[in-house]
Amino acid sequence: MKLDARIPSGPLAQKWSSFKGSMKLVNPANKRKYRIIVVGTGLAGASAAASLAELGYQVDAFCFQDSPRRAHSIAAQGGINAAKNYPNDGDSVWRLFYDTVKGGDFRAREANVHRLAEVSTAIIDQCVAQGVPFAREYGGLLDNRSFGGAQVSRTFYARGQTGQQLLLGAYSALERQVGLGKVKMHARTEMLDVVVDNGRAVGIVVRDLTTGVISTHAGDAVVLGTGGYSNVFFLSTNAKGCNVTATWRAHKRGAGFANPCYTQIHPTCIPASGDHQSKLTLMSESLRNDGRVWVPQTKGDVRRPDQIPEAERDYYLERRYPSFGNLAPRDISSRAAKLVCDSGLGVGPGGRGVYLDLADAIKRLGHKTIEERYGNLLAMYGKITDENSYEVPMRIYPAPHYTMGGLWVDYSLMSTVPGLFVIGEANFSDHGANRLGASALMQGLADGYFVLPPTLSDWLAQAGPSSASTGTAAFTTTVQQVNEHTNKMLAVKGHRSPELLHRELGNIMWNKCGMGRTAAGLQEAMREIKDLRGRFWQELRVTGDGACMNTQLEHAGRLADFLEFAELMCRDALEREESCGGHFREEYQTEEGEAQRNDKDFCHAAVWEHRGANQPALRHREELTFDNVHLATRSYK
Amino acid sequence: MKLTLKVWRQKNATAAGRFESYEANDVSPDMSLLELLDVVNEQLVNKGEEPVAFDHDCREGICGACSMVINGHAHGSDRGTTTCQVHMRRFTNGDTVVLEPWRAKPFPLVRDLMVDRSSFDRIIASGGFVSVNTGGAPDANALPIGKVDADHAFDAAACIGCGACVAACKNASAMLFVAAKVGHLASLPQGQPERDARAVNMIMTMDREGFGACTNTYDCEAACPKEISVDFIGALNRDYRKALSSTR
């Protein structure tokens, strides 16, 4: 596997413009002769499909949900960063770039991150032009707020539903192209494999989830915008349908998988309420702008929170990180919460919770302002917990939320399989080992609106059209393999549902590859995963057949892929003998309990090459060079 | 607590449907309705029966996938709530909970409690957008929009496209859904150039898809999980009439 990031030469700030200046172009009249397959219709997929169709390409877009508007980007709450510097508080492209590289604990590619910061401003312009109703000041200009890991206010937001409004903007652009006949939309259709012919991605195999019919689609390029793999933990803030299938199957067809151990555990989620828990709900990080995080100072303090006097509370984030306080980045805040709970100071059922307290802010700003800022979040919290957080502090606990790892891509967002492009959360490119708040929406839309359209055009202009049609051997063989896999799952006829087996996997991953990892624990996890995978193929029970809507079969297929992927994730965590960002190896920490990086041996992206079921994956490296920022110890103190 | 679930079962759009009853014991008040269905489905799979199919995804009230008529009310009887946010503490020991799919001609049944709402996508595709291609947009602050207008636009834009308004309406009208999108864009300067065409085209598509007419009974507003006001329907009617009279 050859890893060539193909980063344009020249100074950092000129790389993207020099790429665009020298890229190859496809003649407008020729664009309609190219068919592009886009899988996933979240922020990345929908914006890419719409923008490519606007350019004149024929686009086929796929999503497993019943409508493209339901992709999980919709649930993002807090906001989207952009280096507009409207508040005049010292922001710039450079500062956004620097914050993102530092926030990622110096494990991301400089050139990609700088490009992201550069295009961030155009995203806001584009969204406003589409009619996205961002929050505004009384004078009519856009409002900004601050977010974790930054000391400037660069986050644009739409109440607590920014992801929804941005996705509906991208969705409306997509539907406009559907109406114009430039995009053919395939909803309730799940991608089950990528077809690779002569080393080039030439199409996909999909299952119509309503009828069970397997079909094939050929294209000149395939774009995956299929999100992250947090559901490997079973309980996460991701939607129930989020899965690793598209990226994992692409990996098995030759795409390198980078840094699977980089997962983000979000600090502010509603704690689980019992064994029936089916997913976790995030409470936007924006609450930390006004909320103060604390636990009682003494163990076993069972008093109601409002009866615990100020002097007997530990505002541990403010104490440990005085300059960032409650706005410390996610990985740091999550770990701090785990630490206080592990030491027995946690609150709520099982001691797995800390308080997020709005009382001071309500006193300072009034009930009305707090309701305006966070009303919908507090209402959601009330529905789930039956508690009124205007009166009682909320209880929060960290939960898996986002995955920085993903398919390896070069500067053009192309994977190691020519013709296979990967955008948004599904790729590994921009967030290093930890993602800052309000950066996922920025990256998804940057990739889809502004980065992929030119880079894909550049590649098509050089590679030319694919000659493969769905009748070729590559397609028929892949379909055969997909059918065999499905039939094999239906044939097990065991006694346990995919749901139960998935919960087991989640437990292993959360306990041994979650917020704290050790070599011994990871080795144990890998043995347990292998064992569970063996049992999956003996104990699985899928009711019904494959020829109709079968939600059990869908779940089983996704779980089968998670069970393979999970082992690679643990192995990646095991071999990365350092702590960085969301990857915390307990063996590698400072005396104060902070993550200890090892730049000498691990300043690289680990990229895994699949070598078949009987051979372990091979670890390659892309060395990360930092010519523009100084590799510093990340401090938020 | 102990509950009885009476659930609509139907294998596909053309098969005959029927209610089936399932007993659920040890129901925790903190469970969501969908988590209760997970438990019931687990019991069914254990018995070798096929589980109840239902749409759901984010389970936090924003994706708009979940869609059940609960004891006769779309998304249950609580205001401003989606199906996934109905918690079992709303019920008492021994209750029977009746679950049905959205019932409306333009939402053909897929299986059990799952329906096909692609008619909504087709309505959006016919005009629910501002025609701007990617690139070349002016600076976002070049177009000041008063906070009151922006907030008003947001109130409409909050629609999650779940279809409860249609399910609640005796005429299966989609007026609140259409009004929300038209109202969102009509409240903003960006939406003005296509304002007339948008209203006309979206209403024409709505009619063609088989949604009924609005007779102002406001069940849609009562069922809407995002509490979108029927005032937007009034505004839509004004826009529609104005557009028809000024069609060039």
pLDDT 10s digits, A173-189: 999 999 999 999 999 99
The pair phi, psi for residue B221, each rounded to 5°, is -65, -40
Torsion sign over Cα A63, A469, A221, A4? positive
- Give the DSSP H or E segment for A202: strand A200-208
Asked if pLDDT for residue B247 goes beyond 80, the answer is no
Task: Please enumerate in sequence order all residues whose Cβ is within 8 A of that of B62, keeping only pairs 6 or more positions apart, or say none.
Answer: A74, A75, A161, A164, B160
Q: Give the rounded percent of residues in chain A with a pLDDT score beyond 90.
A: 92
pLDDT of the residue at A563 = 98
Distance from CA of B109 to the nearest CA of A (A): 11
Contacts 24+ apart (CB under 8 A), A588-597: A593/A335, A593/A339, A594/A332, A595/A105, A595/A331, A595/A335, A595/A634, A597/A105, A597/A106, A597/A633, A597/A634
Asked if pLDDT for residue A322 goes beyond 70, the answer is yes
Asked if pLDDT for residue A468 goes beyond 90, the answer is no
Q: Can you name the residues that pair with A61 across neighbouring β-strands?
A: A38, A185
- Residue B247, Cβ density class (10 Å: 0-12 exposed, 13-18 middle, ≥19 buried): exposed
Q: Give tens-digit pLDDT for A574-585.
A: 999 999 999 999
Regarding pTM above 0.95, the answer is yes
Q: Give tens-digit pLDDT for A106-131.
A: 999 999 999 999 999 999 999 999 99
What pLDDT band is residue A587 in, cutting at 50, 70 and 90? very high
Q: Do B190 and A131 touch (CB under 8 A)?
A: yes
Q: Can you name the residues that pair with A399 across neighbouring β-strands?
A: A266
pLDDT of the residue at B248 = 58
Q: How is domain B3-111 classified at the architecture level of CATH?
A: Roll (3.10)
pLDDT of the residue at A375 = 87
The 3-state DSSP composition of chain B as helix, strand, coil percent (nearest 5) reads 40, 15, 50
Put simply, the chain A residues between 99 and 128 with a CB less than 8 A from any chain B CB are 122, 124-128
Instruction: Identify whether A330 is a catalytic site residue.
Output: yes
What pLDDT band is residue B246 in, cutting at 50, 70 and 90? confident
Q: How is domain A474-619 classified at the architecture level of CATH?
A: Up-down Bundle (1.20)
Q: Specify the 3-state DSSP secondary structure of A305.
A: helix
Q: Return the DSSP state at A13.
A: G
Q: How far apart are CA A112 and CA A410, in angstroms?
A: 9
Q: How far apart are CA A388 and CA B80, in angstroms?
A: 16
Distance from CA of A450 to the nearest CA of B (A): 8
What's the mean per-residue pLDDT of chain A?
96
Q: Do B31 and A274 touch (CB under 8 A)?
A: yes
Q: Which of A409, A416, A424 is nearest to A40 (CA)?
A: A424
Task: Please enumerate in sequence order all residues whose Cβ is within 8 A of that of A170, keeping only pairs 6 or more positions apart, or say none.
Answer: A43, A46, A47, A50, A445, A448
CATH class assigned to A267-398: alpha beta
Q: How far apart are CA A561 and CA A559, in angstroms?
A: 5
Q: Is A256 left (phi over 0), alpha (psi -120 to 50) or beta?
A: beta
Output the CA torsion A332→A337→A340→A344 (10° steps): -150
Nearest residue, CB atoms, A75 vs list B58, B127, B134? B58
Domain B117-245 has CATH 1.10.10.10: no
Put simply, the chain A residues between 283 and 312 with a CB less than 8 A from any chain B CB are none
Cβ-based neighbour number of residue A146 at 10 Å: 20
What pLDDT band is residue A350 in, cutting at 50, 70 and 90? confident
Domain residue ranges of chain A, discontinuous segments joined by +:
267-398, 474-619
Q: How far apart are CA A475 and CA A469, in angstroms?
A: 8
pLDDT of the residue at A146 = 86
Nearest chain B alpha carbon to A269: B60
Distance from CA of A100 to the nearest CA of B (A): 23
Out of A69, A109, A330, A576, pick the active-site residue: A330
What's the mean per-residue pLDDT of chain B?
97
Q: How far apart are CA A463 and CA A452, in angstroms?
A: 16
What pLDDT band is residue A159 in, cutting at 50, 70 and 90? confident
What pLDDT band is residue A285 in, cutting at 50, 70 and 90? confident
Q: Which of A3, A84, A54 is nearest to A410 (CA)?
A: A3
As a whole number, mean pLDDT of residues B176-195 equals 98
ipTM score for this prediction: 0.98
Q: Out of A226-230, A285-289, A346-350, give the one with best mean pLDDT.
A: A226-230
Q: Specify the 3-state DSSP secondary structure of A36.
A: strand
Q: Do A500 and B110 touch (CB under 8 A)?
A: no
Nearest residue, CB atoms, B39 vs list A47, A137, A276? A276
Helix ranges, A413-497 (H): 440-445, 452-463, 473-492
Asked if pLDDT for residue A160 goes beyond 90, the answer is no
Strand A221-224, strand A35-39: pairing:
parallel
| A184 and A61 Cβ atoms separated by less than 8 Å | yes
Extended strands (E) in A372-505: 394-403, 406-407, 420-422
As a whole number, mean pLDDT of residues A494-504 equals 97
Output the CA torsion B175→B178→B181→B186 (10° steps): -80
Q: Give tens-digit pLDDT for B93-147.
A: 999 999 999 999 999 999 999 999 999 999 999 999 999 999 989 999 999 999 9
| A58 and A35 Cβ atoms separated by less than 8 Å | yes
CA angle centred on B237, ends B235 and B243, rounded to 5°: 100
What are the structure tokens assigned to A77, written together? 């709450």
As a whole number, mean pLDDT of residues A421-450 equals 97
State in Å, rounded, how far the first CA of chain B is from the last one.
Answer: 64
Q: How far apart are CA B89 and CA A385, in angstroms?
A: 10
Nearest residue, CB atoms, A128 vs list B51, B143, B161? B143
Q: Do B191 and A131 touch (CB under 8 A)?
A: yes
Asked if pLDDT for residue A150 goes beyond 90, the answer is no
Domain residue ranges of chain B, discontinuous segments joined by +:
3-111, 117-245
Q: Give tens-digit pLDDT for B15-43.
A: 999 999 999 999 999 999 999 999 999 99
